[in-house]
């Protein structure tokens, strides 16, 4: 049994990785605001919640988010449908998470990736002061406060060259100041058993000597076709405008049809005809009257047929989630959530490398 914690928890990629690896775990805390914003200032919230218990403060902030953002936390809804967190330990806002109260919990692994934001001011020396006011600062602050044995930080590859490399220099200085042994890996999901061209950086910090190497890559033996559902509801098929857009070579940088390896899945996957799509030759057994009433029958590469979006389940599969993982939010949100997740297969490879080197004991 290992103790884990997550920040910017999303839909629970590290939890899914541990499930797939048959590793028992307990979630100490999780935090995600569900891409909502507050109008109230931090100072006002701190003043209003002074003297409250942990549970009372969390409930107050949750009610404030619903009142000011006008919608529920769909990320929390999705996460809690699949994973268990003790009441009061799922945080709506990482800024109000006091990591010091978890210092004695012996957290084995803390995982998260803050949204990639531009830094307004980057000092010469680096350190926490230079990132104050950004969500990366909150990640670093909580690592410093709760002192996990290992942390994994994930973000986009572009962070390394943002602002001519100065952003990464500052972030790296912050990591070094936390007194962890740091390793940086640039990993692509397609090298870890899943047909998905998704490059990300992973920073692994350990309290013990970090002897990790790049996780062993595996030969890709599947294509997108292996992850498709057999029965597709009519609502996922495209009308004439959508069909003509995704099959137009001029828009190939935005939409790809019948690819073997998925383009990097994004938050707006399948929205506004963006991402991977499937063309299906016309088949009156498969394409029911309901489908044909909705779908436009057009020509693509010399064949007549219909085009469709990938379903949310297919998108989650292509992020490494199994079919046992429950999807409980509406389609647009599910597409967005899967596009914002970490590829589970890559986390599995990192976990296995840590276990092989004796860094993670479970």
Given the DSSP bridges, would you call strands 150-156 and 109-112 parallel, antiparallel or unpaired?
parallel
Q: Tokens in use for 197? A: 């061209």
146 is catalytic: no
Q: CA 8, 75, 233 angle in degrees (round to 5)?
A: 135
Q: Tokens in use for 179? A: 């007194």
Given the DSSP bridges, would you call strands 109-112 and 2-7 parallel, antiparallel or unpaired?
parallel
- The single residue of 116, 146, 315, 362 carrying the catalytic annotation is 116
Dihedral sign of CA atoms 312, 316, 318, 321 in order: negative
Could you tell me which residues are beta bridge partners of residue 112?
A: 7, 153
Could you list the active site residues?
116
């Amino acid at each position: 049994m290992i103790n884990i914690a997550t920040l910017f928890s999303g839909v629970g990629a590290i939890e899914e990785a541990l499930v797939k690896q048959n590793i028992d775990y307990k979630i100490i805390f999780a935090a995600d605001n569900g891409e909502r914003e507050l109008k109230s200032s931090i100072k006002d919230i701190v003043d209003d919640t002074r003297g409250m218990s942990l549970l009372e403060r969390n409930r107050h902030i949750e009610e404030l988010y619903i009142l000011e953002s006008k919608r529920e936390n769909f990320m929390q809804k999705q996460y809690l449908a699949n994973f268990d967190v003790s009441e009061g330990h799922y945080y709506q806002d990482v800024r109000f998470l006091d990591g010091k109260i978890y210092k004695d919990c012996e957290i084995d692994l803390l995982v998260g990736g803050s949204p990639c934001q531009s830094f307004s001011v980057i000092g010469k020396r680096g350190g926490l002061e230079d990132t104050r006011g950004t969500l990366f600062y909150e990640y670093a602050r909580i690592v410093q406060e709760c002192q996990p044995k290992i942390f994994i930080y994930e973000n986009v590859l572009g962070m390394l060259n943002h602002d001519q490399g100065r952003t990464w220099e500052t972030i790296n200085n912050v990591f070094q100041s936390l007194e962890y042994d740091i390793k940086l890996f640039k990993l692509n999901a397609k090298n870890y058993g899943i047909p998905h061209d998704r490059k990300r950086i992973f920073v692994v910090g350990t309290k013990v000597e970090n002897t990790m190497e790049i996780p062993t890559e595996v030969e890709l033996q599947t294509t997108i076709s292996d992850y498709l559902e057999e029965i597709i509801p009519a609502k996922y098929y495209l009308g004439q405008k959508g069909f003509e857009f995704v099959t137009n070579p001029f828009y190939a940088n935005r939409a790809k049809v019948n690819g073997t390896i998925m383009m990097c899945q994004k938050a707006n996957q399948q929205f506004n005809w963006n991402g991977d799509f499937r063309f299906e030759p016309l088949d009156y057994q498969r394409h029911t009257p309901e489908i044909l009433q909705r779908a436009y029958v057009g020509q693509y590469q010399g064949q007549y047929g219909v085009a469709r979006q990938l379903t949310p389940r297919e998108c989650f599969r292509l992020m490494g989630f199994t079919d046992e993982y429950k999807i409980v939010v509406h389609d647009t949100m599910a597409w967005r959530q899967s596009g914002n997740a970490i590829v589970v297969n890559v986390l599995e490879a990192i976990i296995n490398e840590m276990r092989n080197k004796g860094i993670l004991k479970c």
